[in-house]
Amino acid sequence: MGYFYLFLLVLFSWSCHGLQTYQTQLLLQIRKHLEYPSQLQILDNYNGDLCNLSAMSNLTISCQDNFVTEFKIRGNKVANVSDFNGYAIPGKTLSKTFSIDSLVTTLTRLTSLKVLSLVSLGIWGPLPDKIHRLYSLEFLDLSSNFMFGSIPSQISRMVKLQTLTLDGNYFNDTIPNTLDSLSNLSVLSFRGNRLKGQFPSSICRISSLTDVAMCHNKLSGKLPDLSSLTRLRVLDVRENRLDSELPVMPQGLVTALLAKNLFSGEIPAQFGVLSHLQHLDLSFNQLSGTPPSALFDLPSISYLNLASNVLSGSLPEHLTCGSKLGFVDISNNKLVGDLPSCLDNKSDKRVVKYGGNCLSTDGQQQHQGLYCKEANTRRSGRKTAVLVAIIVVSVLLLMLLAFGILILFQRCRPRRTFETHIRQKVVQDNPTTGVSSEVLANARFISEVAKLGTQGTPICRLFSMEELEEATNNFDSSMFMGEGFTGKLYKGRLESGTYVVIRSLTLQKKYSIQNLKVRLDFLSKLHHPHLVGLLGHCIAGGVQDDSGASKVFLVYDYVPNGNYRMHLSETCPEKVLKWSDRLAILIDVAKAVHFLHTGVIPGVYNNRLKTDNILLDEHRLAKLSDYGMFIIMEENEKLEAKGESLKSSQDGRKRIVDPTVLTTCSQESLSIVVSITGKCICPEPSSRPSLEDVLWNLQYAAQVQAAADADQKSDSTS
């Protein structure tokens, strides 16, 4: 007993004092990874409590309950190299031996970290996916370094993030379109990178955003409607290649910087009602038309830059300027007419630039009228052309509508007759399942894996009774595998050496041989990595005599590793699957069921899905069996999902979850599966999730579990 109490004493001591030592060791490792920056020299001879270290301009370390919660360090390695090509640069980046992967791995062990800022430290390399393991982070700033490649899509799992700043790096791929998972994000800043592709639409679904900065990149295409971002105050997309018309902006916008893009079309009138707007820069684009007068009179506007576009027309003589408007630039456009008095530049309180137009004024250099005449004539011509086009299109639409009604009337009666015939055929041919042999024969496959049936794979091989008897040693008891509601199962070995499973099925009523062959042919075409393939069949009694056919033998692929149920029983501990393995099997099954529902039209599958029907191959890949028996047996059994609304508390889970799962799962992963399972057994069918949702949640749970397993393994080896 003395050793036991000694162990408790050591454990208690470690929990009170050793934790701080562990955190200190992690900081020392980080200092080593960063190659001993001068900002961390204080750690060399500092013997006090790091949590009480006074904040400095270039270093901040804060703690809570002996855990580091804030780590901010600013170096002096400015990332402004124009020809950076992804390799270490002496004096600019960290050395060739630096490993960003090792740095991030060590950082993720600071599990309570809420604020992380590593700025101008010469960090180089692709940002690892494992950055998402910093799941407590609320603030992340990795600006002015030499990171390149993709912004990890896994960063969208850091759901507590409020600020994400990656300015001044060399990221050169597209922006992940999954950032809408960051539902708490308020500041998103990717300034000064080499990002390409479109502005991701998912950003428009982050309702908490207040600041979005994507300037100095290579983004192209359309800037989407941002009106849903009701909290957005700052939008900076300067110096990109965006080439759409200007979208609708949120009402609370304060600063909109859209200069040096390829925006075209007229400035929307909606811009003239943005009452909070203070700074608007639309310069160096391809905007046309006359700017809305209301822009100049916005109650909060102080900076308005419309320079270097192709704006045309004349500004109203009695244009009103807002009392806070201190800078206006309308230079280098195609404006004509008189300069409004509020822009005459006679007041010292306002700076106005209007040169490079065709205005009737002596101040600032203007072009001759012919320079702007073409643009204004073209604008007038465009208005006429648009009006003519609207009239022509309207007439054509009316003509097409009339023609369509005529065609529809002519075809309506024959089509109704055809549909009535098909419905009658379905009912007559198969009154129980509603899926006729004609429909099955003409089933349309829409999955790529199903196209194997058209690429040389036999439609459905016909086996003779002699072949099957030889394969099973005349259906010897030693080859017997079991019996269920769908007949007896035998293991067999074909002449080629291939192992198969043979199902002996007794027919309960007279069948049309042709009908049965169509159904078997249909099932044999269903090819998927997670389905047990139907290789062929043998109809006993011959194919000529319908009344003599009483049995059918189905020949399947042999799956050697038993069924899923065998691997859930605690009676065989060596076979019991841990949580991550079970998730992998469930994902396989979900893919198979999804294919059966959507990979072929009409979809097939009923509700008889049991652990006995899930087989495992030698690699523990799951394969679904018995998926087509209801078609062969012409059954239409409907089994309703039953079960208690699942317990979400930890105590509740212990009562319903396999102990092996509880000891091998992460709580987050299990919670995801419990949640989606609860939705699946919802009494109201319309409230149940789609198969796509189920599959996505299972895959997400597997990712969470993999990350937890990796963390545990990493901790155990450190």
| CATH code, domain with 537 | 3.30.200.20
Helix axes 691-717, 667-680, angle to 10 degrees: 170
Do 147 and 236 fall into the same domain? Answer: yes
Q: Over pLDDT 90: what percentage of the chain?
A: 39
Do 92 and 219 fall into the same domain? Answer: yes
Q: What is the mean pLDDT of residues 7-20?
A: 36
d(CA 704, CA 132): 10
CATH of the domain at 661: 1.10.510.10
Q: Please name the residue that has the structure tokens 């991030």.
A: 104
Secondary structure string (H, E, C) spanning 45-64: HCCCCHHHCCCECCEEEEEE
Check pLDDT > 90 for residue 635: no
Confidence of residue 392 (pLDDT cuts 50, 70, 90): low
Residue 592 DSSP one-character state: H
Comparing CA positions, the residue from 466, 456, 460, 617 lying closest to residue 535 is 460
d(CA 104, CA 124): 12
Residue 613 DSSP one-character state: G
In 293-383, at which residue ranges do the beta strands (DSSP E only) sit? 303-305, 310-314, 327-329, 334-337, 351-353, 358-359
Check pLDDT > 50 for residue 469: yes
pLDDT tens for residues 557-616?
A: 999 888 888 887 655 666 778 888 888 999 988 888 888 877 665 566 665 678 888 898
Backbone phi, then psi, for 437, in 5-degree steps? -65, -30
Handedness of CA 675, 679, 683, 687 (dihedral sign): positive
Question: Looking at the domain assignment, is residue 680 inside a domain?
Answer: yes
Confidence of residue 409 (pLDDT cuts 50, 70, 90): low
Q: Largest Cα–Cα distance of the chain, in whole Å? A: 110
d(CA 582, CA 483): 26
Give the pLDDT score at 123: 95
Do 338 and 468 fall into the same domain? Answer: no
Do 91 and 164 fall into the same domain? Answer: yes
Give the pLDDT score at 233: 95
Beta partners for residue 256, in sequence order:
235, 280
Residue 696 half-sphere exposure toward CB, CA atoms < 13 A: 5
What region, left, alpha or beta, does residue 382 occupy, with left being phi > 0 and alpha being psi -120 to 50 degrees? alpha
d(CA 691, CA 608): 16
Q: Decide the pairing of beta strands 139-141 and 163-165.
A: parallel
Is residue 62 within 8 Å of residue 73, measured between CB atoms?
no
Is residue 429 within 8 Å of residue 436, measured between CB atoms?
yes
Identity of the amino acid at 304: L
Domain end call among 233, 260, 287:
260
Q: Decide the pairing of beta strands 211-213 and 187-189.
A: parallel
Question: Looking at the domain assignment, is residue 280 inside a domain?
Answer: yes
Is residue 537 within 8 Å of residue 550, measured between CB atoms?
no
Question: Looking at the domain assignment, is residue 400 inside a domain?
Answer: no
Domain end call among 319, 346, 373:
373
Q: Over pLDDT 70: what percentage of the chain?
A: 75
Comparing CA positions, the residue from 422, 425, 610, 441 lying closest to residue 516 is 441
Return the number of other C-beta atoms located less than 10 Å from residue 678's C-beta.
15
Domain end call among 537, 558, 579:
558
Residues 6+ apart with CB under 8 A from 38: none
Do 157 and 280 fall into the same domain? Answer: no
Comparing CA positions, the residue from 702, 530, 716 lying closest to residue 614 is 530
Do 79 and 143 fall into the same domain? Answer: yes
Question: Looking at the domain assignment, is residue 239 inside a domain?
Answer: yes
Token code pair at residue 278: 């203070």
258-267, 494-503, 538-547, 705-714, range with the lowest pLDDT: 538-547
Q: Decide the pairing of beta strands 67-77 and 59-64.
A: antiparallel
Give the pLDDT score at 229: 95
Question: Looking at the domain assignment, is residue 436 inside a domain?
Answer: no
CATH of the domain at 165: 3.80.10.10
Give the pLDDT score at 718: 57
Q: Please name the residue that has the structure tokens 């949580």.
A: 579
11-25, 52-66, 210-224, 290-304, range with the lowest pLDDT: 11-25
Do 102 and 210 fall into the same domain? Answer: yes
Cα–Cα distance list, 417 to 378, 412, 414, 420 (Å): 57, 9, 5, 5
Return the number of other C-beta atoms located less than 10 Å from residue 569's C-beta.
11
Do 143 and 180 fall into the same domain? Answer: yes
Handedness of CA 474, 476, 478, 483 (dihedral sign): positive
Do 542 and 585 fall into the same domain? Answer: no
d(CA 238, CA 259): 5
d(CA 258, CA 281): 6
Beta partners for residue 189, in sequence order:
165, 213
Do 706 and 589 fall into the same domain? Answer: yes
pLDDT tens for residues 51-105?
A: 777 767 788 898 887 789 999 999 988 767 777 888 899 989 999 999 999 999 9
Q: Decide the pairing of beta strands 358-359 and 303-305.
A: unpaired
Is residue 148 within 8 Å of residue 127, measured between CB atoms?
no
d(CA 143, CA 191): 9
- Give the number of domains in the chain: 4
What does the radius of gyration of the chain's CA atoms come to, in whole angstroms?
36
pLDDT tens for residues 251-274?
A: 999 999 999 999 999 999 999 999
Give the pLDDT score at 387: 63
Comparing CA positions, the residue from 630, 580, 584, 578 lying closest to residue 604 is 630
| 93 against 516, higher pLDDT | 93
| 172 against 667, higher pLDDT | 172
Question: Looking at the domain assignment, is residue 420 inside a domain?
Answer: no
Confidence of residue 135 (pLDDT cuts 50, 70, 90): confident
Give the pLDDT score at 243: 94
Give the pLDDT score at 19: 38
Give the pLDDT score at 544: 43
| 244 against 50, higher pLDDT | 244
Check pLDDT > 80 for residue 623: yes
Specify the 3-state DSSP secondary structure of 458: coil
The pLDDT mean for the chain works out to 80
Question: Looking at the domain assignment, is residue 282 inside a domain?
Answer: yes
Do 551 and 575 fall into the same domain? Answer: no
Confidence of residue 644 (pLDDT cuts 50, 70, 90): very low
In this structure, the dihedral spanned by the alpha carbons of residues 233, 238, 240 and 242, taken in order and rounded to 10 degrees, is 60
Question: Looking at the domain assignment, is residue 402 inside a domain?
Answer: no
Comparing CA positions, the residue from 682, 675, 614, 607 lying closest to residue 643 is 682
Domain housing 529: 458-558
Give the pLDDT score at 606: 61
Q: What is the mean pLDDT of residues 462-469?
A: 89
Token code pair at residue 489: 């199962």
| 597 against 623, higher pLDDT | 623
Is residue 637 within 8 Å of residue 608, measured between CB atoms?
yes
d(CA 476, CA 483): 14
Confidence of residue 696 (pLDDT cuts 50, 70, 90): confident
Do 546 and 659 fall into the same domain? Answer: no
Sequential DSSP letters for 628-664: THHHHTT---------PPPP-SHHHHHHHS-HHHHHH
Give the pLDDT score at 93: 93
Is residue 93 within 8 Å of residue 124, measured between CB atoms?
yes
pLDDT tens for residues 340-356?
A: 989 986 666 788 999 99
